[in-house]
Amino acid sequence: MNKVLVLDFGSQYTQLIARKVRELGVYSEIFPFDTPLARIREEAPKALILSGGPRSVYEKGAPLVSAEIFRLGIPVLGICYGVQLMARLLGGKVVPSSRREYGFARLDVRDRSGLLKGIKSKGQVWMSHGDRVEDVPPRFTITGRTANTRAAVLEAPGQGCYGVQFHPEVIHTHQGRAILANFLFSAAGMKPDWSMKSFIRRKVAEIRQAVDGGRVICGLSGGVDSLVTSLLVHRAVGPSLTCVFVDNGVLRKGQYESLMEEFRTKLHLRVRGVDASAVFLRRLRGVVSPERKRKTIGRTFIEIFEAEARKVGRVDFLAQGTIYPDVIESAPVKGPSATIKSHHNVGGLPKGLRFKLIEPLRELFKDEVRTLAAELGVDRGFIAQHPFPGPGLAVRILGEVTPGRIAILREADAILLEEVRRARLYHKLWQAFAVLLPVRSVGVMGDQRTYHQVIVLRLVQSVDGMTADWYPAEAKTLSRISTRIVNEVQGVNRVVYDITTKPPATIEWE
Ligand code: XMP
């Protein structure tokens, strides 16, 4: 399989580069900029891409690489900081600009024989740089320029070196995809050979070989990652996989039943359903602090999971839904030893059990996991579901978590979701949920004074959960939700709308 390594110099777009390359059908991984050359050789990539980065190549402590990297015999594409580094290391000159160039520019194509094959002149490109290449290194030609940047595209095909000052990986560079494709398929001579179908084939074979007649266990969380993990392992080893799904008592209304139906009936997984709600609720009694709630739930889950694993008998492997963004931070290690390795370096797992780990999604981005889920027959509605925190409703019930308070929140939350779907808002939102406050407020119902609970509605939009905006829902939608909750949920006499962004608030209330 063809592989492209992206060396990361700290650009906010590094992940995007790898994703765009994969979208073009070539497998790509991100490595830290200081990865030793021997390690790079071991990976046997067909090409390298040097990412952008926030530093200046002349700055003290700037991330550098050895010029040897250009003599590995594989084509290298430098993007932004990457091209400046290439120019500097190969004998060109990089200078600081008096003004930082940030935003759109028009690309003037001078030569279409290489990187810019088929690229139209005057196309929009996205710039974000301070320094620029003043003199190109020997044997380089400038093939594209913009009004402010003379060396916007430089190429030395004889040396396999290519560079762009703008960002071809971002959507604002209109012909960026075509430029990346020219690098991969013309300059580096690769053929697209990465797709979800080929991934499934390869992973299933790998898992089958590794498990080699052993037994595998996998905890289902209700999310996409653990489900896709189970489905892949199931394809590989069938009945040798046992899944465990724990009802922790703080799931949404009907969630346990509908998930079990999806897992067992639709997807034919062998799932041990464990109703452990009584244990969880007992442990949560009197617990008010959000962190203690999380810890209590985490610890209890591990205990229950361990007990279930013992009931299954001899288990050799634990399958986990770790995905690529979880992995990139730590130094990426690859090969069979990473897909399956002893479990001491994973937090929050059963400690007493000596499982070997199977993490088939370690190489995938979240959107790739979703594509894979569809490929494996998971329902579209399930794939597009909003994120739901592991500690569930416990972190949406401020104050103590009691059966009575869970019942109130569940009903209010179910009404909210029903109305959000009715208003066709569900897929526009990152999350929509209700929160139960730890205070009561005065109201009047009929002729009676009431002193009841307050429900908060939280509807947010977000791209990745790191920042979020509250959603300006229509008054009639909010009004319907409020009226229904107050009328249908006993013990609630007031509904309020959360109009805070993240930051400074967080999405969840705890
Ligand atoms: P916050 O509240 O930090 O949440 O803005 C960001 C995203 O993370 C989810 N979240 C959690 N997910 N366990 C989880 O699995 C947790 O303890 C947890 N806390 C927050 C939250 O729902 C949002 O999507």
Instruction: Give 361-401 pLDDT, tens digit per residue.
Output: 998 988 899 999 999 999 999 999 999 999 999 999 999 99
Residue 122 clears pLDDT 70, i.e. is over it: yes
Task: Tell me: pLDDT of 139 over 60.
Answer: yes
Domain spanning 3-187: CATH 3.40.50.880 = yes
CA of 292 to the centre of ligand 1 (A): 15
Is 23 a known active-site residue?
Answer: no
Strand order in the sheet with 27-32: 27-32, 3-8, 47-50, 76-79, 161-164, 153-156, 141-145, 93-109, 123-135
Among residues 367, 277, 256, the alpha carbon closest in space to that of 20 is found at 367
Nearest CA to ligand 1 atom 11: 389
Question: Quick one: pLDDT at residue 341?
Answer: 24
Which residues on neighbouring strands pair with residue 356, listed in sequence order?
Answer: 317, 342
**What tokens does 419 get?**
């109305």
Distance CA 199, CA 196 (A): 5
Residue boundaries of the structural domains of the chain? 3-187, 196-383, 402-497
Residue-level pLDDT at 349: 56
Residue 76 in contact with residue 47, Cβ under 8 Å?
yes
C-beta 498 within 6 A of ligand 1: no
Average the pLDDT over 475-479 and give the result: 98
Convert 364-378 to b/e letters by CB count within 10 Å (16 or more is b): bbeebbbbbbeebeb
**pLDDT (tens digit per residue) in 234-262:** 999 999 999 999 999 999 999 999 999 99
The number of residues in the chain equals: 510
Residue 389 Cβ contacting ligand 1 at under 6 Å: yes
Q: How far is CA 383 from CA 180, 226, 460, in A?
A: 30, 12, 19
pLDDT tens digits for range 205-233: 999 999 999 999 999 999 999 999 999 99
The crossing angle, in degrees rounded to 10, of helices 224-237 and 366-375 is 50
Percent of the chain, pLDDT > 90? 87
Q: Is the CB of 502 under 6 A from ligand 1?
A: yes
Distance CA 386, CA 365 (A): 17
- Residue 221 Cα: closest atom of ligand 1: 15
Catalytic residue among 29, 169, 359, 368: 169
Query: Which atom of ligand 1 is least distant from the CA of 466?
Result: 6
CB 467 less than 6 A from any atom of ligand 1: no
CA distance 164 to 476: 51
Pocket lining: 431 vs ligand 1, CB cutoff 6 Å:
yes
**How far apart are the C-alpha atoms of 420 and 426, rounded to whole Å?**
6
CA of 70 from ligand 1 middle (Å) equals 43
Determine the distance separating the centroid of ligand 1 and the alpha carbon of 364, expressed in angstroms: 21
- Is there a contact between 399 and 438 (Cβ–Cβ < 8 Å)? yes
Pocket test for ligand 1, best of 508, 509, 510 (most atoms within 8 A of CB): 508
The percentage of the chain sitting over the pLDDT mark of 70, rounded to a whole number, equals 95
Q: Which atom of ligand 1 is nearest to the CA of 387?
A: 24
Report how far residue 48's alpha carbon sits from residue 261's, in angstroms, rounded to the nearest whole number: 46
| Residue range 72-94: mean pLDDT, rounded | 97
Task: Tell me if residue 169 is catalytic.
Answer: yes
Q: Quick check: CB of 390 below 6 Å from ligand 1?
A: yes
Residues 149-185: pLDDT tens digits? Answer: 999 999 999 999 999 999 999 999 999 999 999 999 9
Q: Which numbered atom of ligand 1 lies nearest the CA of 430? A: 24
Cα distances (angstroms) measured from residue 389 to each of 23, 155, 219, 284, 509? 29, 48, 15, 16, 12
Beta carbon of 348 within 6 Å of any ligand 1 atom:
no
Q: How far is the CA of 440 from the centre of ligand 1 (A)?
A: 26
Digit-coded pLDDT (tens) for 26-45:
999 999 999 999 999 999 99
Report the sign of the C-alpha dihedral through residues 306, 312, 313, 315, in that order.
negative
Instruction: Give 359's DSSP letter.
Output: -
Averaged over 68-78, what is the pLDDT?
97
- The catalytic position among 29, 80, 101, 218 is 80
How far, in Å, CA of 72 to CA of 37, rounded?
9
- Residue 157 is given by DSSP the state G
Q: pLDDT (tens digit, 9 = 90+) per residue, 279-333? A: 999 999 999 999 999 999 999 999 999 999 999 999 999 999 999 888 765 433 3
Q: What does the pLDDT average to over 420-445?
A: 97
Residue 465, ligand 1, Cβ within 6 A? yes
pLDDT for the residue numbered 328:
67
Amino acid at position 54, single letter: P
Q: Please give the pLDDT value at position 4.
A: 98
pLDDT of residue 336: 28
Q: Which element (helix H / strand E) includes 53?
A: none
Catalytic: 80? Answer: yes
Entry pTM: 0.82
Query: Would you identify the CATH topology of the domain 402-497?
Result: GMP Synthetase; Chain A, domain 3 (3.30.300)
Q: What is the mean pLDDT of residues 443-449?
A: 92
Model confidence pLDDT, tens digit, residues 336-369: 223 222 223 334 555 556 789 999 999 898 889 9
415 lines ligand 1 (CB under 6 A): no
Kindly compute the dihedral angle of the four CA atoms of residues 467, 381, 235, 331, in this order, to the nearest 10 degrees: 0
From the list 166, 203, 182, the residue with the least C-alpha distance to 118 is 182
Burial of 481 (0-12, 13-18, 19+ CB in 10 A): buried
| Both tokens assigned to 54 | 């926030």
* Residue 11 neighbours by CB under 8 Å, 6+ apart: 17, 51, 52, 53, 54, 79, 80, 81
Bridge partners, 184 (sequence order)? none
The mean predicted confidence, pLDDT, of the chain is: 93
Residue 56: burial class (beta carbons within 10 Å; 0-12, 13-18, 19+):
middle
Atom of ligand 1 nearest to the CA of 505: 5
Say if CB 136 and CB 164 are below 8 A apart: no
- Active-site option among 29, 161, 167, 308: 167
Rounded to 10 degrees, the C-alpha dihedral 164/166/172/178 comes to: 0
What are the start-end ranges of the H helices in 429-507? 475-488
* CA 430 from centroid of its chain's CA atoms: 14
Alpha-carbon gap, residue 497 to 285, rounded angstroms: 28
Strand runs (DSSP E) across 51-119, as ranges?
A: 76-79, 93-109
Confidence of residue 464 (pLDDT cuts 50, 70, 90): confident
Please check whether the two domains, 3-187 and 196-383, share a CATH topology. Answer: yes
For the domain covering 196-383, report its CATH number. 3.40.50.620
CA quadruple 191, 193, 195, 197: dihedral positive or negative?
positive
Residue 350 beta carbon below 6 angstroms from any ligand 1 atom: no
Q: How confident is the model at residue 51 (pLDDT cuts 50, 70, 90)?
A: very high
DSSP letter at 355 equals P
Please tell me the distance from the alpha carbon of residue 37 to that of residue 39, in angstroms, as a whole number.
5
pLDDT recorded at residue 352: 59
Of the candidates 203, 178, 505, the residue with the CA atom closest to the CA atom of residue 363: 203
Helix, strand, or coil here: 270?
coil
